[in-house]
Amino acid sequence: MTKFEALGLQKSLLNAISDLGFESPSEVQEKCIPLLLEDDTDLVALAQTGTGKTAAFGFPLIQKINSESRTTQGLILSPTRELCLQITNEIKLYSKYEKGINVVAIYGGASITDQARQIKRGAQIIVGTPGRMKDMISRGLVDISKIDYCILDEADEMLNMGFFEDIKDILSNTPDEKNTWLFSATMPKEVSVIAKRFMNNPQEITVGAKNAGTSTVQHEHYVVSGRDRYPALKRLADANPGIFSVVFCRTKRDTQRVAEKLIEDGYNAGALHGDLSQNQRDLVMNSFRKKQIQMLVATDVAARGIDVDDITHVINYQLPDEIETYTHRSGRTGRAGKSGISMVIVTRSELRKITAIERKIQQDFIAKKIPTGIEICEIQLYHLVNKIKDTEINEDVNNYLPAITDVLKDIDRDELIKKIVSVEFTRFFKYYSKSQDLNSSGSDRRDRGERGERGERGERRERGSRDDAPTDGSVRYFINVGEKDGYDWMSLKDFLKDTLDVGRDAIYKVDTKESFSFFNTDAEHTEQILSTFSEFKVDGRFVNVEVSNNPGGSGGGGGRRRDSRGRDRDKSRSGGDRDKNRSGGGGRRRDKSSFKSNSGGSGNSSGKRRSKKREGFY
């Protein structure tokens, strides 16, 4: 018996669950489903974003609905159109083996007559936003006077958005005997008011600590001066070539402005905010889902509840006014048990807010530095080289090969490699070679000119992490494994610690990129590391480590690095099993630079990801 079976779900639902690839229920599902199936009770369920709340109410709702009657029996209220569509979609997937169940979405910005027509055909379940629902009720286009179940999803956000009166009105059109199930990530006062006023002895289920952030998310902050926010954002993007992110701004105007600038600078970016038409918002969301947009710049309201998988980074371009909002933002990443990073760009005067957020989410921020131009160049260089290595050969090139070979015939292999890499790299290098340090506590010339040097260091907070550790005697390494090999910074640190048999603290500044990573140790370990990782194989694949030459450490000179690169490339060639590791690479990879992107290239594989994400949930 699977764990889902044990919850009391009927066969048709279990089949749908297995099609979805859900292996075991999440905690909130495990707690809610049996309770809702067995009892006719009101319920308040609190669980963070990404914990599977939709299924926690969706499965019991479907099982309890009488599909032979066409009466509307269940109403799900959710704050935004996007969420509304998302939930409708999920419920349809869950109920694919149920005969005769109709789910209809009701939301603003689309034809009300079309929606009314769908309702007329008989909808046992309606998923609606409060505004449009109220509208349709008042016009007599929906009848919710006989519902048995009312679900308030993302209740905290609905109230945040000022829907209290609408919800009250809508509920006044429903029967007293119905059951109300309220789902929320947080429990602010307003939600308890709803629970008290409109619910009947609700049972309460809490998963994880109340109001806590998702623990799979690493929180980082970067201190810059106010005017450097935008260049800092660009660097964060450039230092993470595989980034797939939501960038949060405070106002619609900033959102639009930042998105426009990013697009102008050649990034795959898009804006999402309330001043756009529904049609524009749909287009942006679709491109984002397909990963054609790598950086979705959004306001809090517009991005609320968006369930897009595999968001690698949330970037807080500006901090929100409310601490609560930060939890919602960072919850966009690290979903379904995956790891994610929430980055905050702050000025020194905002550091107080970081402390307040830490208290709220009960997690520490890591004080990070905006990468220097050289670091970014290095990251991009390795990214480029790996990309060349992983590129699938287009056999149509063959026709041109004789001519191409002829043109290149006088160039030897090493020279050719240098030239190929330079095609892309030189532009990067030119852009960044004269760039300044953007870190506010650093020795930025403009900073000094303006504010003098006093007090800067003192204000910087030293965190538990060693990111601020002095770099003297510290060595930075490059290792040719990364996220696509299944590592995140924590697991890579564990792997290194175990392989080298050193203490946990010996390895620090672990920074995983898509297909490679960096880490630091004190100089005393260098010899051991280099000898351990010469001819070192994992699953038949050479894993090699070399001293990196970026300022994060005190590595060997550039010449040496380049030599060993060349050698390693040859070495890895002979390790025939490498191909095995290629498969995961294609999907998210997109060329990114601070320059006009010359690749119109859109997602080359997105179909694969759906099945991938189901793995390893919890």
User: Which tokens go with 548?
Assistant: 């990196």
Q: Residue 256 interacts with ligand ADP (CB under 6 A)? A: no
CB 59 within 8 A of CB 134: no
* Choices 45-53, 245-253, 354-362, 406-414 (CB under 6 A): range interacting with ligand ADP: 45-53
Angle between helices 81-94 and 53-64 (to 10 degrees): 50
Size of the residue set binding ligand ADP (CB under 6 A): 18
Does residue 59 interact with ligand ADP by CB under 6 A?
Answer: no
Instruction: Centre a 10 Å sphere on the Cβ of residue 610 and count the other Cβ atoms it contains.
Output: 11
The DSSP result for 545-563, as a single string, is EEE--STTS----HHHHHH
> What amino acid is encoded at 34 in this protein?
P
CA distance 327 to 300: 11
Q: Is 51 in the site for ligand ADP (CB under 6 A)?
A: yes
Which residues make beta-bridge pairs with 547?
477
Q: Does the footprint of ligand ADP cover residue 307 (CB under 6 A)?
A: yes
Phi (first) and psi of residue 196, to 5 degrees = -70, -45
> Given the complex with Mg ion, which of 45 and 141 has the nearer CB atom?
45
55 binding partner (options Mg ion, ligand ADP, none; Cβ < 5 to 8 Å by kind): ligand ADP
- Residue 78's nearest CA partner among 8, 173, 160, 136 is 160
List residues binding Mg ion (CB under 5 A): 53
Residue 6 CB partners (closer than 8 Å, separation 6+): none
489 backbone dihedrals φ, ψ, rounded to 5°: -60, -35
Q: Which residue has the tokens 């990111």?
A: 467
Q: Residues 291, 304, 329, 335: which binds ligand ADP (CB under 6 A)? A: 335
Tell me which of 50, 242, 334, 371 binds ligand ADP, using CB under 6 A.
50
Question: What one-letter code names the amino acid at 77?
Answer: L
Segment interacting with ligand ADP, rule: CB under 6 A, options 46-54, 187-195, 196-204, 280-288: 46-54
- Residue 55 lies near ligand ADP (rule: CB under 6 A): yes
List the one residue from 31, 53, 383, 509 that touches ligand ADP (CB under 6 A): 53
Residue 614 interacting entry, from ligand ADP, Mg ion, none, C-beta within 5 to 8 Å by type: ligand ADP
The verdict on 218 binding ligand ADP (CB under 6 A) reads: no
Strand order from edge to edge, sheet including 125-128 = 103-106, 125-128, 74-77, 149-152, 179-184, 43-46, 203-206
Q: Measure the CA–CA gap between 84 and 304, rounded to whole angstroms.
A: 11
Single out the residue of 91, 336, 385, 481 in contact with ligand ADP (rule: CB under 6 A). 336
Q: Are 267 and 273 in contact (CB under 8 A)?
A: no
* Residue from 198, 495, 518, 617 binding ligand ADP (CB under 6 A): 617
Structural tokens at position 278: 């529904």
For ligand ADP, which is the closer residue by CB, 167 or 185? 185
Name the residue nearer to ligand ADP (CB basis): 183 or 516. 183
16, 54, 72, 217: residue in contact with ligand ADP (rule CB under 6 A): 54
* Nearer of residues 153 and 447 to ligand ADP, judged by Cβ: 153
- Alpha-carbon distance of 288 to 577, in angstroms, equals 34
Using rule CB under 6 A, residue 179 touches ligand ADP: no
CB–CB of 545/530 below 8 Å? yes
Task: List, as one string, the DSSP characters of 165-216.
Answer: HHHHHHHTTS-TTSEEEEEES---HHHHHHHHHH-SS-EEEE-SSTT---TT
Least distance between Mg ion and beta carbon 292 (Å): 24
Q: How far is the CB of 606 from ligand ADP (least distance, A)?
A: 15
Q: Are strands 340-346 and 179-184 parallel, antiparallel or unpaired?
A: unpaired
In whole angstroms, how close is the CB of 617 to ligand ADP at the nearest point?
3
Nearer to ligand ADP, 4 or 222 (CB): 4
CA gap 193, 526 in Å, rounded: 60
Residue number, 50 or 241, with CB nearest to ligand ADP = 50
Instruction: Please identify, using beta-carbon distances, which residue of 53 and 291 lies nearer to Mg ion.
Output: 53
Binding mask 24-43 for ligand ADP (x = CB under 6 A): -xx--x--------------
Token representation of residue 516: 């490679």
Question: Smallest distance from the beta carbon of 336 to Mg ion, in angstroms?
Answer: 12
Give the footprint of ligand ADP on this chain (CB under 6 A).
22, 25-26, 29, 47, 49-55, 307, 309, 335-336, 614, 617
